Amino acid sequence: MMSGPPAGGASIGRDASSDDRPAGRLALVTGAGSGIGRAVAIALARPRTTVIVVGRRPAQLRVTAAAIEAVGGTAQTVTADLADDQSIADLVRTAASTGGGRLGILVHCAASHLTASVDDTTAADLDAILQVNLRSPFELTRSALPLLRAARGDIVFMNSSAARSAPASNSAYAASKAGLRAFADSLRAEVNRDGIRVLSVFPGRTATAMQAAIFETEGKSYRPELLLQPEDIAAAVIAALDLPRTAELTDLHVRPAIKSP
């Protein structure tokens, strides 16, 4: 949840710090307590934009909210476990009441990772990964579609380079991300006619707490300065969202520019 050039037939050359994004919109970001999710939530902030930041840890969400408000946005924190369908239903109701029935941007950044061989991966392990990485984004998107249609909004799925090239000992994680990619592609074919754009982002290795844990599991030295930064991914997402509504970027592949020695 490593890459080639962007696909989708559109350029993202516009400055990601541009101020011509629509104001007065509502955005919702899952996994917003840290890492890429936090960076995206902060990048979405601007005057008259409300960002609903969703995660499982209230203290981390408060840090994200404070950063959003420091740059002129409005933040609303929602502590939720998206493995629970009732929590998803409650979250969509919150978005509806906050945005007046319209949701301009939905960003799925919540994810879970498992490093294990097929021999060591149990059915319960697989179910847990699929629940977080595939089923929850599916259900949240499905439930939020009326709000997104009303706003002619954007949906962003934070995927992974593992969806395209699955390494050893990542079968469950890579399968969940490949499924997420297929879901996004099918969804796009259904909702483009409603004015909704769907973007899948495939980052290479990014300097996050999750990646640090992966390096430790792999027995490798963690050098975050050689990896993508969360803010790099956020800038790429904002650039894609800034495209005119006559254009849609469908698949965005981002990899570290600095190569390990």
Give the C-alpha separation, 230 to 39, whole Å.
6
Give the C-alpha separation, 38 to 103, whole Å.
19
Upper half-sphere CA count for residue 153 (Cβ side, 13 Å): 24
Pair of tokens at residue 174: 């890579």
In three-state secondary structure terms, 198 is strand
Give the C-alpha separation, 152 to 148, whole Å.
6
Query: Which positions are annotated as active-site residues?
Result: 173
Q: Which residues of 184-205 are buried (b: 16+ CB within 10 A; e: fewer)?
A: beebbeebeeeebbbbbbbbbb
Burial class (CB in 10 A: 0-12, 13-18, 19+), 70: exposed
Give the C-alpha separation, 220 to 251, whole Å.
29
| Beta strand 105-108 pairing with 197-203 | unpaired
Please give the span between the terminal C-alpha atoms of the chain, in angstroms, as a whole number. Answer: 25
